[in-house]
Amino acid sequence: MTETPVTSEMRAERLRAGLKGRYARESRFKLYGLLAIGVAVSFLLLLLGRIFEQGHTAFYAHSVTVPVYMDASRIDRAYPQGTNFELLVAEQQLARFGVTDDERGTQATAMRGLFSSELKFVAAERVARQPGLIGQTVPLTAPVSDDADLYLKGEISRDTPAEQRRLSDVQIDWLDRMKASGQVAAHVNGALFTKGDSTEPELAGVLGAVVGSALMLLVTAVIAIPLGVGAALYLEEFAPRGRLTDLIEVNINNLAAVPSIIYGLLGLALFINWMHLPRASPLVGGLVLALMALPTIIIATRSSLKAVPPSIREAALAMGASKTQTVFQHTLPLAMPGVMTGAIISMAHALGETAPLLLIGMVSFIPGVPASFGEPTGALPSLVYIWENASERAFHERTAAAILVLLAFMIVMNAAAIFLRRRFERRW
């Protein structure tokens, strides 16, 4: 039996078939990559869209302007803060609507539920600053209550059964009348960015949490970046190779995978129970986040140092430079883009951590804005946790708004990492 001779045409045909198969596999691989990217982007857009849909209403709010007669018989000139301005405004507003209240003040209580508690502070401050207003009719502007604000935003519907909503039909009628008369107006919710936390949703803001997060990140950066870069430089460039160095490397890699809640327990035991540092302060929060960020910074810095070609070190040493001069004048500057990127990304990761902050006390209600590193404060992740678990429905939209602020904070930090990386790459 004779074999069919392989001709050049057959070889060319096989070659074309092989090339066609390789091109087909390459096309399928590219398609799979595009599909994977499309799925990832779709989930990201779905997440961001859902957060924006829930939180965009928190960026605007409603206020009400009512004329108030400063009754001299009910206002104490010496101490206007003790006047029940809420009841005074409610009674006068009922009189304008022609509503007669009962002996228990049921209607006045319902009317007071449409105004924020900020109204009494606005009125008291106005009278304390200008005592001559007593006996006159003064227009006062204050936020509406959280439930009234939700109704004006369409989050509460009249069609919902009365027992399932916190506003009665009568209160909704009053809101519609005030809106039709021009007393109610929508505006940008500046309180969201200029005030700290509050038990009243319409008065709650993220400023305290933003400042607290910034102070914590400052402490984290001051401690973690120098220590992390220094440790990486020593381990990669100076440490002798041996079992001890290998053991340290293994432990650093393991620490990078430790759950963040373990660092919270460590910070609680070490910084609060043993060192007695102020609980829920930016100092303690920054120290805990620094411990968590250290392994990541060390690993990223070592990877950047390894990426520098050995010929750079050899050339510097051949020109008579010392080991220290070679590292700090040649190796480290070339590795700096990767070092800065790893450091800033680790800071952004630390910014989003919640579990360690909850364990050191940042789950408490803290209304003010911290003025130092030792004062109790909140942070954006813990504020999101607190607001999401609040019973008032108006806090839920503010939760999504706080998430958007946190995401914006992290986007800025990652953009800074990209900018610094490109700047160092152009320089070197």
For residues 97 and 193, what is the distance between their CA atoms, to the nearest angstrom? 35
Q: Is the pLDDT of residue 428 over 60?
A: no
Q: Where is pLDDT greater, at 42 or 417? A: 42
Instruction: Give the pairing type, strands 137-143 and 184-188.
Output: unpaired
In terms of Cβ atoms closer than 10 Å to its own Cβ (0-12, 13-18, 19+), residue 291 is: buried
**What amino acid is encoded at 167 in this protein?**
L
Segment among 11-20, 222-231, 284-293 with least mean pLDDT: 11-20
The whole-model pTM stands at: 0.85
Which band of pLDDT confidence, cut at 50, 70 and 90, is reported for residue 365?
confident
Q: Is the pLDDT of residue 423 over 80?
A: no
Q: Are 297 and 343 spatial neighbours (Cβ–Cβ below 8 Å)?
A: yes
Residue 419: what pLDDT? 79
Give mean pLDDT, residues 226-236: 92
Segment among 59-63, 91-95, 220-224, 255-259 with least mean pLDDT: 255-259
Q: Over pLDDT 90: what percentage of the chain?
A: 36
Highest mean pLDDT among 37-46, 161-170, 234-243: 37-46
For residues 144 and 123, what is the distance between their CA atoms, to the nearest angstrom? 14
Q: What is the pLDDT of residues 266-313, one digit of tens each?
A: 998 999 999 988 888 999 999 999 999 999 999 999 999 998 888 888
For residues 407 and 401, what is the distance between their CA atoms, to the nearest angstrom? 10
Q: Where is pLDDT greater, at 362 or 223? A: 223
Q: HSE (CB half, 13 Å, CA atoms) of 253?
A: 8
- Mark residue 68 as left, alpha or beta (left: phi above 0; alpha: psi -120 to 50; beta: remaining): beta
Q: Is the pLDDT of residue 368 over 90?
A: no
Highest mean pLDDT among 99-103, 131-135, 221-225, 410-414: 221-225
Q: What is the pLDDT of residues 99-118, one digit of tens each?
A: 888 888 899 999 999 999 89
Residue 102: what pLDDT? 84
Q: What is the pLDDT of residues 377-394, one digit of tens each?
A: 888 888 898 898 887 888
